[in-house]
Structures are given as C-alpha cells and as structure tokens.
Amino acid sequence: MITFSAALLPAADAATQVGSPMLNIAIFGAFVVGTLAIVIKVASGRKTAGEFYTGGAAFTGRQNGIAIAGDYLSAASFLGIAGAIALQGYDGFLYSIGFLVAWLVALLLVAELLRNTGRFTMADVLSYRLKQRPVRIATATSVIAVSFFYLLAQMAGAGGLVSLLLGVSGETAQNIVIAIVGGVMIAYVLIGGMKGTTWVQIIKAVLLIAGTAIITAWVLAKFGFNPSGLFQAAADNSPEAGEKLFEPGLKYGKSLTTKIDFISLSMALVLGTAGLPHVLQRFYTVPTSKAARRSVEWAIWLIGGFYLLTLVVGYGAAALVGPDVINAAPGKANAAAPLLAFELGGSVLLGVISGIAFATILAVVAGLTITTSATFAHDLYREVFRRGKIEEGAEVRVARIAAIVIGIVAIVGGIFAKSQNIAFLVALAFAVAASANLPTILYSLFWKKFNTRGALFSIYGGLISSIVLIIFSPVVSGKAPLVEGGPSPSMITNPAIDFSIFPLDNPGLISIPLAFFLGWLGSVTSNEHNPQKYAEMEVRSLTGHGVAEAVHH
Amino acid sequence: MSSPPRAQTEDPYLALQSTDEFQELRRKFRGFVFPMTGFFLAWYFGYVLLSIFAPGFMGTRAFGSVTIGLLLGLGQFVTTFAITFIYARWANREFDPLADRLGARLDEITEA
C-alpha cells in the first residue's frame, strides 16, 4: 500500500486509500514524540492530588479556554460535522449549532459557581450541602457511565480512522494501532497528570484550528471569497441533493419521527455540555471564578469560530470532492475533511490533517481518563470507601492505578467496538449528562429546598431512564436495512432481531424533563434541609470566598 | 472543607447570607443570568423548530444560494458571541466589585 504515490491516484479512484500512509504515520509520530517531550518537561515528577487532578489549579483563563476547545472538539466534531455538512448540507450545520449554544449554559449558570464551590470533582459540588456518601456514589456512577460512553466512542473512532488514514485494514494491525493510542494516552496521564494533559489539549487545539483555517482559506480562495458561489458549486456537484443542500430536511426532515428525534437530540446537546464531567473538570484547573469565566469566553470564541470554519470545509468537500467519492471512501462522511485536504494539498496536507485527527482522539481520551480516575480515587476510594481518612499519597496512587485500568478498558473496548455501529454513543453521553448530571447541578446551585432524596431521584432516574430508552430504541436494534437483505444499521446488525419499542434514537426529550421532575419530587417529599450548609454554599458560590484556601490545601 | 460547627447565630455564612447586600448580589446575579438563559434557549429552540417544521420558509433564498435558514443559523453564532461579550462585561464591571467586597468582609469576620 505504501508504495502508492498519492499523486498518481486520481481522487475518484481513491475508494480504498488516498495519500501516503507512511507520511500520515510519520506526522502522527512526530506529534506524539513532541507532545510527550513537552509533557515530560513541564509536568513530570511526584504529584499531590491537586496537581494530578487539576494541574494545581494554576492555568490562566486563556490557557484553559484553549484547552477546553481542545477537549471539546473531538474527532466527532471535526470529521463528523464536516462530513454531515458535505452530505446533508443545512442539517449538518443545524447539528453543529447545538454544540456551540450549549456553552452559554456553562457560561451563565455553571462554570463560575462550580469553580467557587468545588475542588476536584463534580461530586464535590453536588454533595456540598447534601449527605456525602449516597450523593457521591450516585454522582460517581453517572460520571463513570457518561465518561465510559464517550471514551468508547472515541476509541472506536480511532479504529475507523486507522483504516481510513493509515491504510491499515487488517484486524490485527488495527488492534495494534488502538493499543498504541491507548498506551500513549496512559503515558500522558501518568507522567503529566492534568498539567501534561492540558498542554496536549492546548497544542492539539492550536493545530486543529490552524489546520482547519488553512483549508477554509484555501477553499474560499478557490471560489473568489464568495461563499454563495461555494454553496452553489456544492449543490452543482451533488447530483442527488442539489439545491436541497441549502434547505432543512435532508437528514432530520424525513418523517415526523426524525423531526421529533432532532428536537430530542438538540435538547441533549444544549443541556448536556454543561453536565459533561470532563468539561466540568476543566473549570477546576484555574484558580478563581473570574478565570473560569475567562476560560468559557475563550472556549466560546474558539469553538464558535471553529464551527464557522467547518461550514466552509463541509460545503468545500461537497463542491471539490463530491458526495459520490465521499460515500465510496472507508469511513464515508468521516472521510469528507481528509479527502478535501488531499484534494487541495495532496499527501502533505492530508498527512497533517490525519495527524491532527489522531492527536484529537489522544487529547480527548486523556482528559476523560483523568476525570474518571479522579472520580474513582477522590469520590469513591477516599470519600466513600475510606470516609475521608486517607493519606494524600495513597489517593494519588489509587488515581494512577485507576488511570491505567481505564486505559486498558479503553483499549479493549475500542478493539471490540471498532466494527460496531456505535456513533450513537456520543449522543448518548450528552443525553445522560443532560439527564443525570445537569438537573442536579442546577438544583444544587440555585434551589434552596433541594436535598439528598431529590439528588438521588434525579441522578438515578435520569441515568436509568436514558439508558433504558436507548436499549429499546432503534439505534440498538430493529432499523430497516439500507439495502434489501443487508445488515441493519442498528448496533445489532441482524435485522431479524428487533426489540425496539421506543421510536426515537435520542432519549433526551423524555429523560431530561423526567430527571428535572424527579429532582423536584424527591426534594418536596423529604424534609431534609441544612440551612448552614446552604448558606455556606450560596455565599461561597457567589463571592468566591474560600476558593483560595481550597486551592492551596 | 467545611468550617467547624458553631451555634447558628454565629455562623458567618448565615449572617452574611441574611444581609441586604448579599440579597442584592443574589438578586442582581439571578436577574441577569435567568432572563438571558431564557432568551437564548427560546431563540435556539425557536430556530430548531422553524428548521424542522417550516423547511419551506427556512429554505427561501435571501440572496444567491444563501437561505433564510442559513442566515438565522449564523444569527445563532452572532447572539452566542454577543451574549458572551455582554455577560463578561457586565460581570467584570457590575458583579465582581460587589462580590469581592462581600467576600472581603467575610474574610474579616472569619479571621477575627
């Protein structure tokens, strides 16, 4: 495979392989070596719990904002949204907007108050004025569930990227690449803790946004910096969709079910972002609520700017590569951005974009692993299992072991999941975060009468309802095959197996309101109320009192 | 993490929470973020519902190949950036000085 020179391969024939896998691997290797060197230089050595979980809360708002963008713009955003816009035009764009608007929830309601009332984990905030043990156990369960779904989706994505970009299609070779990705990620986390991981995310964000900006400028230049001309060219080059690319409906407008499904999905996106544990964890890496505010400001500018670039990249891929070639490539829609890079800048630009795509997975997975290991070590081991009586060294040791275990789970999960239809897992992670986490976060920050029973009802109710609804939804079983007699696009590909009784792909429409309702119901049926802790939490959340001490512990 | 238990009347947090200044701070904060949240959620879901249930209107060409839906979508970006800017300016100018003053007063009480 590697002897094929990319230049000799016309793009239209590039169904199996474009570019130079060796070059792609070399650029990815350079990223890994470069970032590992930086991680070792800035962040190696023994660590306190605070250093391991939050980098000692020593990042500036701007640094953290860039890292948040690096954490949030996963391969699903980068490759998935560009591909969705290339193939479904307007509906792909519509999908991207939810991911941005969601940050306003974090900005206005969550980031600053969370920074002021917590120290290491989401459970710090949720258990602040409630009964520690049950609330920490519930929160940890939901954190682990959300992070696991997100992690699995990323690792399976790594498997798909391998066959697309490295020309590695053999089963064993793909597994080896997944294991390498997992191994490098564990190294980042163990050596660098949150400080090292943050730097990886910052570097990745800069590369990703710069690479996308170059492609965008290149595409626009080809169309005389006239977006309308670009859109027209995209429609002209899409025989099937044509001018429908400018209108809603190609993806979500097929039937009433798909329409309601999109409403359900957009609820999960907008309300889920501010409940994603690995996003919340990032607010603890800065010293004050003002720096947390600054972080979200930077994140919104970068993420919003990035999605605007993606709009051009997506239509550019439709105009210059075309839907037929994209659909014929391995990875289909996910191949749109890489194919466009190849069309514009040949193997070199494709290599750069491929390297960035892998870097994306590494950075996102490392952030998820730190967050999950903090939950295991701080919430479950320290607070629940040892009831707070534990030396700091022991806690960090447990966190490191947890990181290794999570890394191994990610590798094994990625290997098993790589050939499955599990793209729905990202949406599920958002839905669970919006159902099980966000209601409790908002209630505990803003509602005086909220109490332990309300928290438990809301967390477990949101978690269980969203997972049960997904299990009985068409994403798990029973979707009609795309071609007569072919496999079902559901997770269970055998079309004869069908236990889907819930019609929507996304559970949010039911599970989010249900979790809010259960949080209210649990609270009003219990008399528990701790006025002193409530006053302490409210005063601290708004004034930032006590944050400095918490940081310097 | 928590302060040692005291008689309720002596608790500095309870004392501060019941002051007019703190109630004013709380009112100010909620008075800004709740309506703003209501606005952007309504505007976002309004846009989603229009896209889903009024595709004909949203597909109307405004100019060239640019549709009303695309313009409203870009409008979501504009409002998101604008809200971010307005909130940060408000918080830096109006909210922080008040919050810092109360925080400092609490420092004095707890250290005394």
pLDDT tens-digit readout, B75-90: 999 999 999 999 999 9
Residue A143 lies in a domain: yes
CB atoms within 10 A of CB A173: 14
> How much is the average pLDDT of A34-55?
89
Q: Are A544 and A293 in contact (CB under 8 A)?
A: no
Ranges A75-89, A264-278, A312-326: which has the least confidence:
A75-89
Query: CA angle at residue A269 from A267 to A275, to 5 degrees?
Result: 105
CATH number of the domain that A278 lies in? Answer: 1.20.1730.10
Residue A402 lies in a domain: yes
Residue A124 lies in a domain: yes
Quick: pLDDT tens for A52-81. 999 999 999 999 999 999 999 987 778 889
Q: How confident is the model at residue A549 (pLDDT cuts 50, 70, 90)?
A: low
Residue type for position A416: F
Cα–Cα distance measured from residue A526 to residue A514, given in angstroms and rounded to the nearest whole number: 18
pLDDT at A475 over 60: yes
Pull the structure tokens for residue A87. Answer: 């193939």
Contact list, A98 vs chain B (CB under 8 Å)? 44, 48
* Residue of A546 and B103 predicted with greater confidence: B103
pLDDT of residue B7: 46
Task: Note whether A401 contacts B: Cβ–Cβ < 8 A.
Answer: no
Secondary structure of chain B: what % helix, strand, coil (to 5)?
80, 5, 15
Q: Are A68 and A284 in contact (CB under 8 A)?
A: no
A104, A110, A303, A529: best to mutate for the B interface, most B CBs within 10 A: A104
Query: CA angle at residue A376 from A373 to A377, to 5 degrees?
Result: 85
Of B16, B67, B76, the CB nearest to A246: B67
Q: Which of residues 18-57 of B touch A (CB under 8 A)?
A: 22, 25-26, 29-30, 33, 36-37, 40-41, 44-45, 47-49, 51-53, 55
Residue A428 lies in a domain: no
Range of the domain at B80: 11-111
Quick: pLDDT tens for A395-432. 999 999 999 999 999 999 888 887 676 678 888 999 99
Q: What does pLDDT average to over chain A?
A: 89
pLDDT at A10 over 70: no
The separation between CA A378 and the C-alpha centre of its own chain, rounded to angstroms, equals 23
What is the DSSP pairing of strand B66-67 with strand B61-63? antiparallel
Residue A167 lies in a domain: yes
Residue B74 lies in a domain: yes
pLDDT of residue A8: 32
Residue type for position A469: L
Residue A467 lies in a domain: no
CB contact (8 A) between residue A248 and residue B33 = no
pLDDT of residue A17: 55
Please name which of A350, A57, A72 lies closest in space to residue A194, comparing C-alpha atoms. Answer: A57
Pull the structure tokens for residue B29. Answer: 């904060």
CB contact (8 A) between residue A532 and residue B37 = no
pLDDT at A477 over 50: yes
Residue type for position A110: V
Pull the structure tokens for residue A17. Answer: 């392989």
> How much is the average pLDDT of A217-230?
94
Number of folded domains that form chain B: 1
Residue B62 lies in a domain: yes
Cα–Cα distance measured from residue A476 to residue A239, given in angstroms and rounded to the nearest whole number: 32
pLDDT of residue A442: 97
pLDDT of residue A22: 81
Please name which of A468, A454, A431 lies closest in space to residue A525, comparing C-alpha atoms. Answer: A454
The most confident of A222-236, A334-348, A476-490, B77-91, by mean pLDDT: B77-91
Number of folded domains that form chain A: 1
Cα dihedral A297/A299/A301/A306 (nearest 10)? -170
Residue A74 lies in a domain: yes
Q: At A426, is the secondary structure helix, strand, or coil? A: helix
Residue B4 lies in a domain: no
Contact list, B52 vs chain A (CB under 8 Å)? 248, 252-253, 259, 262-263
> How much is the average pLDDT of A97-113?
96
Give just the sign of the alpha carbon dihedral A292, A536, B36, A247. Answer: positive
pLDDT of residue B14: 92
CB contact (8 A) between residue B106 and residue A297 = no
Residue A515 lies in a domain: no
Range of the domain at A93: 6-418
Q: What is the pTM of this model?
A: 0.92
Q: How confident is the model at residue A357 (pLDDT cuts 50, 70, 90)?
A: confident
Q: Are A45 and A190 in contact (CB under 8 A)?
A: no
Q: How confident is the model at residue A156 (pLDDT cuts 50, 70, 90)?
A: confident
Cβ neighbours of residue A448 closer than 8 Å, sequence gap 6 or more? A529, A534
Residue B34 lies in a domain: yes
* Block residue for tokens 């600053």: A112
pLDDT of residue A480: 82
The separation between CA A507 and the C-alpha centre of its own chain, rounded to angstroms, equals 18
CB atoms within 10 A of CB A309: 21
- Alpha-carbon Rg for chain A, nearest whole angstrom, is 23
pLDDT at A502 over 80: yes
